[in-house]
Structure 1
């Protein structure tokens, strides 16, 4: 990737008289406490709150429409356009605003663990705690690499700067602007640190496919025999939890690339949801939250400073950011071979999708393009209870290119490497969201292990008459009745009503994929009306 000459505005920021560059974790913690941006918890982690916005602001994200990217971007409600002039004016305002701050913080590092495909990045933060978050989520340079580091993309984060929509061309006071020509990401009006992470991921989703690398919103791990598994799914579906497996080494928990060499992590850390987190249920994540980690919107006991992971008074979207090395059984560097199995995760609030089913190639492509899940509370502004949603490729909010681009690449790789694909429902069982209960994590883990170990290849199956999915009749460690959703519902009529309603939502959503083959279109739910 060609290094872009720094603009005069960026040079002005980098010349700030009190710019702290690449501070070590202890020094960042000191600055956070001195500036009263956060609190030190009993675990040694930093706790910070994000104010008004406790989740992403997708309606405030824009891509600058210019001659470098106009013909490639899939413009629309996800990839909203903003003109170059508006970007430049807002960029100058933000720089002038940050210049007046007493101190700023910068981080130089990488996105992409594979040396051949990594992107050198730079992040300039108004907040010290955002800089600590950045340091833990991206890849820190090895000794000596900083001397030769030349950033190819820069994030400028000014959470306390608020835009004026009438003047600045934004939708609200909040903005996330990406300029591929200037190689700048401009963030303001929100203290939610996740915008920094996701903006870089969106950039990688633009750059990597143009180099014939599939970028993926998924977690990944590797077994003792070198077998690699990918876990696709939106926030809250279980990617982080299921990939942090004591019997498998973690590659990464959220964002990966799939190159001719295999899979590589895009990040250097984990950003785990920690609502109802316990050492008993998720020991790896629980124990990873220690000195240098960041807890976002987690409530603390005022005296002991012990985190209360069950407290949702601020948001259900409580988060923990920590470096990969805080997990005991990781693979380092975060690269591995080609996937043997792919797991599509959905948190189905209707409670009608099977807990696990093995997909044909055509079904895999159908469900990848559909990307069905229930958007969980807190992951975005205004979402207070699960909402059915279809997010192409299980990551539509972060895809600058058309979904068909990523789907075509995935299909080719499934064929080339003979990869097995499963659909796993981590959502509700025994009824819909208001009636049933969330699937037990122990059951989901047992099903995933059975899939990865090949135990489902010869087990008797039955076909779901609504969705056409092949459901195993037996899975070690899981009650048989759980495996067939209809058997868990007391009200069978209500089940069929919910299932048929969801099937029709699948069909309606898939109408937009006009270029899909007839084989893929016919791989959806059997029920049509």
Structure 2
């Protein structure tokens, strides 16, 4: 079949009645790099990586993410501030306008997979206005084997046109940029933004909807790796908490750095993606050698800048954003699991960047505390991961990824609880990669070497004989000693010069937990509620004195 005919038949279901003059199908990475350079979309660094800018939007724009509300989604989606409803007719009109906009342009079409397990795999078709976006998709999604037949009916499609801007008064968007999921039509529309992460996270949202409802499988915003003995570990956490850094371990095989599924029962883990999308602000070879070496020809770096007079990336430069990133195929990391699957996890880490400096650097959670903290999803939004975030802000994000959850959070929590029951050997740990010795502005960020030492002690069984004691407010179990970590660091109260100030900060944070959990409490079991901080409820306001 001629290439042009093949591409035309693939795009007709998306509304392309006539194929644009130049529509490239499944170009290899080298050809996409050449196209990006020819079109002025980027510049090569001295390591061969392609440096590109994302323009006005250097992070996701959650307030401009919508889901079409129709018969399929009306009763199932968790509508509210996170999942914003969009009209089906306006979606159709917007798609038609996007197709018309792209009709005379050079396009880049890619076919890929999402999900490494065949039983739950999504077949994707992606239409890109930008060559470097198509390279991003080649790197981040799973690549079909050479010679594979990809003339499939896509399970989900993406149309991404950064140059197309919506008219909010006509199109129903909030502003000119948008990302809109239509589960009935199986299409994701992205326009007005060149931030490539919108494509990746859009498909993550699709899997968060489909896997629980169709496959009884838990989708997770986590990284995962596996040791030589077959002991898998997963790392939950929002962007900036260390998922990519901590799961990239030279002594363990990386399954994936951001998105995974956990099959029912004793079923194992599987990666949703075929690449890594890692933050590179202040990247240093000695601290993260695997990521450093992965930034080579075929990889992308976003919103970075050169050392003046060179083609060497200055990773300390945050003049564009703190959310500088790299996107590369997972096999650019030397010790990856092939295929990107693993057994049920032996260790489950909840990563939190606690900006208050209250939580311990490591603590063990029983099932009650695990479920409570999973639903709470406490962390701090780190600068640059979203538009307008300039310094850490305390936040609660259910399941450590509420912005990606189309269903009610309790649906995912129930799936996790079932997995803990069916895999009793699994241990859950809370890891604070945030501040110690005081809150943000007073204390200091946890040292990466200490966090790595804590995780190594867990993964290698060094804490089997260590005594634990409960935190007086949060009830999580703190180890008394860990090799390679100062003992005083293990109890956060000891790191504060002003112990009374710590007690006050701990009580304040506990009240925030309880207040946040009020929206889940009516549906929570006694077992989950048992994981709440020992401060039972927020401090009551003084009663009014009646005359």
Q: What's the TM-score bracket when you normalise by the shorter of the two chains?
A: over 0.9
Equivalent position to 1:520, from 528, 531, 537? 528
Residues 1:83 and 2:90 aligned together? no
Aligned partner (choices 208, 218, 227) of residue 214 of structure 1 = 218
Give 1:450 deviation, angstroms: 1.2
**1:346–1:424 contact (8 Å) kept in structure 2:** yes
CA–CA separation in structure 2 for the residues paired with 1:385 and 1:448: 26
Q: Distance in 2 between matches of 1:146 and 1:305?
A: 39
User: Which residue is 1:388 aligned to?
Assistant: 394
Q: 2:500: which partner in 1?
A: 493
Q: Which digits, 9 at most, give the CA deviation of each residue in 1:429-467, with x for residues without a partner?
A: 111111111101110011111112222232112221121
For residue 372 of structure 1, report the CA deviation from its aligned partner. 0.4
Determine the structure 2 residue equivalent to 1:266. 272
Matched, 1:15 2:19: yes
1:170 aligns with 2:173: yes
| Contact 2:376–2:517 (Cα < 8 Å) also in 1 | yes
Corresponding residue to 1:196 among 196, 199, 208: 199
CA contact (8 A) 2:217 2:263 kept: yes
Instruction: Give 3-state SS (helix, strand or coil) of 1:105's partner.
Output: strand
Distance in 2, Cα, partners of 1:14 & 1:117: 33
Query: Once structures 1 and 2 are overlaid, which stretch shifts more, 253-262 or 146-155?
Result: 146-155
Secondary structure, in 3 states, of the residue corresponding to 2:118? coil
Distance 2:142 2:13 in 1: 26
Q: Which residues of structure 1 form unaligned runs of 5+? A: none
Q: What SS class does the counterpart of residue 386 from structure 2 fall into? A: coil
Equivalent in the alignment of 2:62: 58
- Alignment-derived partner of residue 545 in structure 2: none
Q: Is the 8 A contact 2:352 2:380 kept in 1?
A: yes
List per-residue Cα deviations over 1:120-153 (Å, max 9, x = no partner).
Answer: 0011111111111111000110023234543111
CA, structure 1 residues 344+496, in 2 after alignment: closer, same or farther (shift >3 Å)? same
Question: Are residues 7 and 139 of structure 1, via their aligned partners in 2, closer, same or farther at CA, if it must alter by over 3 Å?
Answer: closer
Q: 2:464, 2:248 → 1: CA distance?
A: 24
After TM superposition, the structure 1 = structure 2 runs for residues 126-145 of structure 1, keeping only pairs within 5 Å, are: 126-145=129-148
In the alignment, is the contact (CA less than 8 A) between 1:215 and 1:255 conserved in 2?
yes
- For residue 67 of structure 1, what is the aligned residue in structure 2? 71
Q: Contact 2:18 / 2:103 at 8 angstroms: preserved in 1? A: no
Contact 2:15/2:96 (<8 A) preserved: no
Note if contact 1:256-1:266 (Cα within 8 Å) is conserved in structure 2: yes
Q: C-alpha displacement at 1:329, in angstroms?
A: 0.3
Runs of 4+ in 1 over 3 A off after TM superposition: 5-9, 146-150
Larger deviation: 10-19 or 259-268? 10-19
Q: Does 1:362 align with 2:368?
A: yes
CA distance in 1, matches of 2:271, 2:460: 23
- Which of 392, 410, 415 is the matching residue for 2:416? 410
- What residue in structure 1 maps to residue 244 of structure 2? 240
Residues 146 and 8 of structure 1: is their aligned pair in 2 closer, same or farther, counting only changes over 3 Å? closer
CA RMSD of aligned residues (A): 1.4
- 1:467-498 CA distance string (max 9 Å, x none): 11111010011000111111111122221222
The alignment partner of 1:410 has SS state of helix
- Among residues 445, 461, 467, which one is paired with 1:460 in the alignment? 467
Counterparts of 1:328 and 1:174 in 2: how far apart (Å)? 38
Question: What is the TM-score when the length of structure 2 is the normalising length?
Answer: 0.94
TM-score (norm 1): 0.97
Work out the number of aligned pairs and report it.
524
1:164–1:170 CA contact under 8 A, matched in 2: yes
- For residues 426-445 of structure 1, the aligned pairs below 5 Å read 426-445=433-452
Q: Is the 8 A contact 1:13 1:98 kept in 2?
A: no
Q: SS of the counterpart of 2:113?
A: strand
Aligned to 2:119: 116
Match of 1:411, SS?
helix
Secondary structure class of the residue paired with 2:24: strand
Q: Is the 8 A contact 1:209 1:215 kept in 2?
A: yes
